[in-house]
Amino acid sequence: MQSAYTVLILLMLVSVSKLVGRLVPLPLPLVQIAAGALLAWPTLGLHVALDPELFLFLFLPPLLFSDGWRMPKRELWRLRGPILTLAVGLVLFTVVGAGYFIHWILPSIPLPVAFALAAVLSPTDAVAVSAITQDRLPTPLMHMLQGEALMNDASGLVTFKFALAAAITGVFSLAEASLTFVLVAVGGLAIGVALSWLVGRLRAWMIARGWDDPATHVVFMLLLPFAAYVLAERLGASGILSAVAAGMMQSWLDLLPRQTSTRLLNRSVWSLLEFAFNGLIFLLLGLQLPDIVKAVTSHEASLWPTLLWRCLDVLAIFLVLIALRFVWVQSIWRLIGVIRRWRGKADLVLVPTARSCGLLTLGGVRGAVTLAGVMSVPLLFSAGKAFPERDLLIFIAAGVILLSLISACITLPLLLRGVAKSPDDTLRQEAKEAWRRTAEAAIHALEAEELVESSVPPDALQDANHAALAIELKGRLMAEYRHQLDTFNDSAEAQALAEQMDQLERRLRLRALRAQRLELYNLRRNHEIGDDVLRQVLGELDMSEANLGAVK
């Protein structure tokens, strides 16, 4: 029962922290870390023992799956150059540069372990950046950070696992590791895509036979990231990349027909899951802080001098990470500009000003994935031998997460000072065009019904058209009030007529909504709108269909 009480307390704290975050001008992750640390204070004494493998398996697959699902694919492809250089090149640059620095400043950490720590410090958290900046970042820059966070979660954690294996086995070959990395990555991506496609085909087969219960389909999608992760790991591929690929593939399969109720339920369930899991990770970090500090200083004679030196080590590592990121961003961004000018494409998506470079550098906030990865470090190095400096690794990772959040809270608003929060014009124009095209499709679908003949002659004058529209509007309003009167008429004949007219209206509205949805899918297939617009318009169409209720 104690475990059940602990889980309930943590879930309650996640909800309360969201309310507190509205009152306190701090990012939600910092509020949750502080709440966890307060709960672990000796007076309250809540302690949670974490199994590293269970922690990794429970939290990472659904979070990475959700990131892959929500990432706008068109923007990801459009910004593929900058995103890949940040997500892969910067990760390797950070692993080498920060790894050697960590080993130099802390010789007690072996070099392979230092590389593993640098790798797990590479993933960034775009959600925390969005919360700090209140969506005031330029849209291309936010998409770059989102794409980087999605891809470097995978590249950083895969590199982390390779470095960890080298630390445990003591064997490392660059050529062999590079080939294995490619095979593991490609295998993970292929398994995730294939499994997600198979689940989509299974769901389509179920829907065709009338088995379209929303709860059943949502459960399948909840289990998919875990299945993709486990299957890939058992086959020797990357479970992390498999979960990401499954999420990206599932965003296409989410457009199955007759799935309005399932999509609505699925969005709600995944929003809840993301909120709860992200909150639990930061709460658990706060809960572990006293034990982490105690473990780091347990072998020293004095507490505060040792803790001070360890904090200085964390600060130095954090500053090196910022410096490496700044050097990479400046160099690669200017190199991309030179290449584009050489190829005759002088227009950059985002001009590399000092402000944009600063935002991109300081926007590399570390978060939940870094913590989940470092918590997965095994307790034992070999039989009966503790993993070297495991507590120090967790302390450094926790410190870097805290420093990155605090520095972003201070510097990002300063860099954004004077930048007005304005909607994206391209996104707004695409949404407007999507609504116009879908409305035309709905009108064509209703015209095809041929339920009523047009009473307006084709050669009518303009003022006659206006009069006809006014009469139509007046008749529509009067019909609504007559429908309300008929609803309260006690006669069986009036009730039957009202029910018949109501069902006819619902069928017409349903046909129009489905025509809108098909046109929306067509716009997406032709790349005329992006995933953001698709998700926005589709959500409103689904809500409108759900409000119709059951249609006989």
List pLDDT tens digits, range 21-50.
778 777 777 788 888 888 877 666 676 766
Please report which residue ranges of 89-213 form alpha helices under DSSP H. 90-105, 111-120, 126-133, 139-169, 174-208
Q: Which long-range contacts (CB under 8 A, 24 or more apart) does 204-210 make?
A: 204/256, 207/256, 207/257, 207/258, 207/259
For residue 506, name the pLDDT band (cuts at 50, 70, 90).
Answer: confident
pLDDT digits (tens, 9 = 90+) for 11-24: 888 888 888 877 87
Residue 323: predicted pLDDT: 93
For residue 310, name the pLDDT band (cuts at 50, 70, 90).
Answer: confident
**Who contacts 118 (Cβ-Cβ below 8 Å, separation ≥6)?**
94, 95, 96, 97, 98, 99, 102
Residue 155: predicted pLDDT: 78
Residues facing residue 382 across a β-bridge: 385
CA distances from 487 to 474, 491, 492, 495, 507 (A): 20, 10, 11, 7, 19
Q: Please check the confidence at residue 488 and state whether its pLDDT lies above 60.
A: no
pLDDT digits (tens, 9 = 90+) for 249-264: 887 766 665 677 788 8
For residues 197 and 545, which has the higher predicted lDDT (pLDDT)? Answer: 197
Q: Please check the confidence at residue 455 and state whether its pLDDT lies above 60.
A: no
Residue 231: predicted pLDDT: 92
Among 197, 186, 171, 198, CA closest to 238: 186
Q: Please check the confidence at residue 343 and state whether its pLDDT lies above 80.
A: no
- Size of the chain, expressed as the number of residues it contains: 552
For residue 100, name the pLDDT band (cuts at 50, 70, 90).
Answer: very high
Average pLDDT, the chain: 77
Residue 221: predicted pLDDT: 87
pLDDT digits (tens, 9 = 90+) for 413-427: 888 876 655 555 667
Residues of the chain with CATH 1.20.1530.20: 2-422
Taking the CA atoms of 410, 416, 422 and 426 in sequence, report the sign of the dihedral they define: negative
Instruction: Report the CATH fold assignment for 2-422.
Output: Na+/H+ antiporter like fold (1.20.1530)
Tell me how crowded residue 294 is: count the other CB atoms within 10 A of its CB: 11
For residue 316, name the pLDDT band (cuts at 50, 70, 90).
Answer: very high
Residue 131: predicted pLDDT: 66
Taking the CA atoms of 152, 158, 161 and 166 in sequence, report the sign of the dihedral they define: negative
Tell me how crowded residue 486 is: count the other CB atoms within 10 A of its CB: 16
Q: pTM here?
A: 0.73
Mean pLDDT of 309-335: 89
The burial of 123, by beta-carbon neighbours within 10 Å (0-12 exposed, 13-18 middle, 19 or more buried), is given as buried
What is d(CA 472, CA 170) in angstroms, rounded to the nearest whole number? 81
Mean pLDDT of 65-75: 79
What is d(CA 537, CA 15) in angstroms, rounded to the nearest whole number? 29
pLDDT digits (tens, 9 = 90+) for 206-237: 888 878 788 888 888 889 999 999 999 888 88
Lowest mean pLDDT, pick from 54-58, 472-476, 535-539: 472-476
